[in-house]
Chains A and B, each alone.
Chain A
């Protein structure tokens, strides 16, 4: 049984102009190898500029990897059609207020992925949209609303609904929790955990807050300057960090009043 997602020696570098005619390769991350099983959560942590976002965006298909392979259920990602890819990997963008089209109703926003990637007819699509809205805790009323009428947490719920509507195996979340304030953040965290319990979805998420990482993830991967410096089960890494960088990351989120 091949693992759900397997990444081997994935590399991404950007070419930057350094002189008049010369270019320089700037490595965003890599080579990176890891794998994830169904229903698991992998947290990608690291300081800014360590290539976390680029890695997640490559798996989502926004960026193209320079070298290396991504396998989904044993099949290389390049061999999958864009529909198959959408049905197995979906991404939640960082800021839902800019990732939802302001001129579209919530219903149309959720309809687009279904229409493009499945063979469902209009009534089946409508039923699926209602079902997904219920899953993320929104009323069917919201179908006719425009994104600017929603609060920030409702926008997050719609963004999660858009990712969940195709029942994907893996959801990629790129720092989605940073823009929310603390109480609403837990609402979204609990929603994500509830979805995981119900649907058995795997998450790969980028986060800064180590408490949340501890709470949500099964595995932690620490990136530093594009390389994996530490990888393992959450409990092991949080209790016995081996690397200097990991210790710093854990320290920054240990307020004094807890001691």
Chain B
């Protein structure tokens, strides 16, 4: 118990809790956060609650429009494709692959990129130059192009597509995290901690990591958005998920020739990609503003 309770609180709020309380006040960002949680859980759980399997073909009901349009059927809420497969089920499977892939890429690239970026920023001499400038050369190649080159080497498949995109986004992330950590290193409390004889890991864990929250959210958001777009692009080009797997980009590509017969088939996956990216960006932006306000 505090002797002198000047702040009138039972417990002292940590900066992270304070940021969270500010974030809770931003309704749009909170809605985006819940939408994101709902999207992820429903796409993971969709095989258990969807009435139709994404692969069952039904010759009785082909190219159905969504149920609210003329000729629609309530059994297929978003209609069916040219083989009679339920669009909603396929959309959820597509989301599962695209969203899941993007989350996996973000997780692994962020971890690897942070480690390499910190290694480059915290060391000096040859090691830092190799880690930092060697990868700079890769930045000259656009990430989508390097992903395409890598996938032609590995051969098209969903896993290879994820590996290729991860590798192509890694240099950008390393560069960004390197700059963030480098800026943090010049702060006085880092110098003070170094003078105390702190090891590099301790310096990174207690000095740098808690203080680079805001720029990290920005680069993670960019990484996630880029990986969604690239997974969809590679899927659209036919290098990503192979049949019978469906993924949002390949869903659009498969329905391209049916665009005049049934424009719905292209609209829904496109809308899904758009919505996912918008939701994630609103969430990340809200979080970033909460961090900025909390750190003032």
Stretch at the interface among B7-15, B63-71, B273-281: B7-15
Is there contact, CB below 8 Å, between B197 and A141? no
Is there contact, CB below 8 Å, between B195 and A60? yes
Within 8 A of A (CB), among B190-234: 191-193, 195-198, 202, 206-207, 210-211
Shortest Cβ distance from residue A55 to the other chain B in the assembled complex, whole angstroms: 16
Shortest Cβ distance from residue B61 to the other chain A in the assembled complex, whole angstroms: 58
Within 8 A of B (CB), among A125-151: 139-141, 144-146, 148-149
Shortest Cβ distance from residue B21 to the other chain A in the assembled complex, whole angstroms: 14
Within 8 A of B (CB), among A85-124: 86, 91, 93-95, 98-105, 108, 112-113, 116-117
Is there contact, CB below 8 Å, between A141 and B189? no
Number of interface residues of A (CB under 8 A): 32
Is there contact, CB below 8 Å, between B206 and A104? yes
Is there contact, CB below 8 Å, between A98 and B197? no
Mark each residue of chain A from 63 to 98: 1 if its CB lies under 8 Å from any CB of chain B, else 0.
000000000000000000011001000010111001
B153 interface contact, C-beta 8 A: no
Shortest Cβ distance from residue A17 to the other chain B in the assembled complex, whole angstroms: 18
Shortest Cβ distance from residue A18 to the other chain B in the assembled complex, whole angstroms: 24
Is there contact, CB below 8 Å, between A116 and B188? no
From B4, B192, B211, give the contact of A103 (CB < 8 A). B211
**Assuming the A-B contacts A141-B3, A144-B12, A146-B15, are A91 and B195 also in contact, with contact meaning beta carbons closer than 8 angstroms in the complex?**
yes
Is there contact, CB below 8 Å, between B197 and A100? no
Is there contact, CB below 8 Å, between A112 and B187? no
Number of interface residues of B (CB under 8 A): 23
Is there contact, CB below 8 Å, between B206 and A139? no
Most chain A beta-carbon contacts within 10 A, residue among B15, B188, B189, B210 = B189
Is there contact, CB below 8 Å, between A99 and B189? yes
B2 interface contact, C-beta 8 A: yes
A140: chain B residues at CB < 8 Å are: 3
**Assuming the A-B contacts A103-B210, A104-B206, are A146 and B14 also in contact, with contact meaning beta carbons closer than 8 angstroms in the complex?**
yes
Task: Give Cα A145 to B3, complex, Å.
Answer: 13
Task: Give Cα A95 to B3, complex, Å.
Answer: 28
Shortest Cβ distance from residue A148 to the other chain B in the assembled complex, whole angstroms: 8
A91: chain B residues at CB < 8 Å are: 192, 195
Within 8 A of A (CB), among B136-151: none
A104: chain B residues at CB < 8 Å are: 206, 210
Within 8 A of B (CB), among A172-194: none
B257: chain A residues at CB < 8 Å are: none
Shortest Cβ distance from residue B193 to the other chain A in the assembled complex, whole angstroms: 7
Is there contact, CB below 8 Å, between A86 and B196? yes
Task: Give Cα A83 to B197, complex, Å.
Answer: 7
A93: chain B residues at CB < 8 Å are: 188, 191-192
B12: chain A residues at CB < 8 Å are: 105, 144-146, 149
A-B contact pairs, 20 of them (CB 8 A): A62-B195, A86-B197, A99-B191, A101-B207, A101-B210, A101-B211, A102-B189, A103-B211, A104-B206, A105-B12, A112-B196, A112-B206, A116-B196, A117-B196, A141-B2, A141-B4, A145-B12, A146-B14, A146-B15, A149-B7
Which B residues form the contact surface with A (CB < 8 A)?
Answer: 2-4, 7, 12, 14-15, 187-189, 191-193, 195-198, 202, 206-207, 210-211, 295
Q: Beyond the given A61-B195, A82-B197, could you list 18 further A-B residue pairs with CB under 8 A, ordered by the A residue number? A: A62-B195, A83-B197, A94-B188, A98-B187, A99-B191, A101-B189, A101-B207, A103-B15, A103-B210, A103-B211, A104-B210, A105-B12, A112-B196, A112-B198, A116-B196, A145-B12, A146-B12, A162-B192
Which A residues form the contact surface with B (CB < 8 A)?
Answer: 60-62, 82-83, 86, 91, 93-95, 98-105, 108, 112-113, 116-117, 139-141, 144-146, 148-149, 162
The 3 closest A-B pairs by CB, nearest first: A103-B210, A99-B188, A82-B197
